[in-house]
Amino acid sequence: MYQMYGIPNCNTVKKAKDFLEEQGVEYSFFNFKKETPNKTMLKRWKSFFGDFPANKRGPTFRKIKEDYEAANAAGKESLLLENLSAIKRPILEKDGEVLAIGFDEEVYQSLF
C-alpha cells in the first residue's frame, strides 16, 4: 500500500494526489495537520533525501531559517517536528520505503 505524507491544502500535494487518483493508485494519506511524524520517519526521509527534507522555499521555513541553519542535527530534527509545514512534501512511500519527496510528474510516471 502506498502512503502519502503532507498537508492537504498544499498545491504540490494536491497535484500528487490528483496524479495518483488519475492513475487509479490506492494510497492512504498522513495529514501533518492531524498527525505528527515521528523521529524514525524523519530519519528515513533524511536517508532518502540526503539531508533533512526541509522545504526551504516555504514561508514556515523562512521563519525558522536562522535557527535551523545554526542547529546541529538534533536541533534541526526538533525544529522540523515542531514546524511540520517546514517539511518538504509530499513524501510518497510504499511499505515503509521512500519513493519520492516532492512532486515531479516524470518521477511519478516512472513509478506507475
Q: Do residues 4 and 30 make contact, with C-beta atoms less than 8 angstroms apart?
A: yes
CATH homologous superfamily for the domain 2-111: Glutaredoxin (3.40.30.10)
Angle between helices 59-70 and 73-82 (to 10 degrees): 160
- The pLDDT assigned to 105 comes to 96
Average pLDDT, the chain: 96
pLDDT, tens only, 38-70: 999 999 999 999 999 999 999 999 999 999 999
Position 18 confidence tier, pLDDT thresholds 50, 70, 90: very high
The mean pLDDT value for 65-83 works out to 97
Tell me the pTM.
Answer: 0.92
- Whether 21 is catalytic is no
Choice among 4, 5, 6, 10 that is catalytic: 10
Domain ranges (residues) in the chain: 2-111
For residue 45, the 8-state DSSP code is: H
- The pLDDT assigned to 15 comes to 98
Position 102 confidence tier, pLDDT thresholds 50, 70, 90: very high
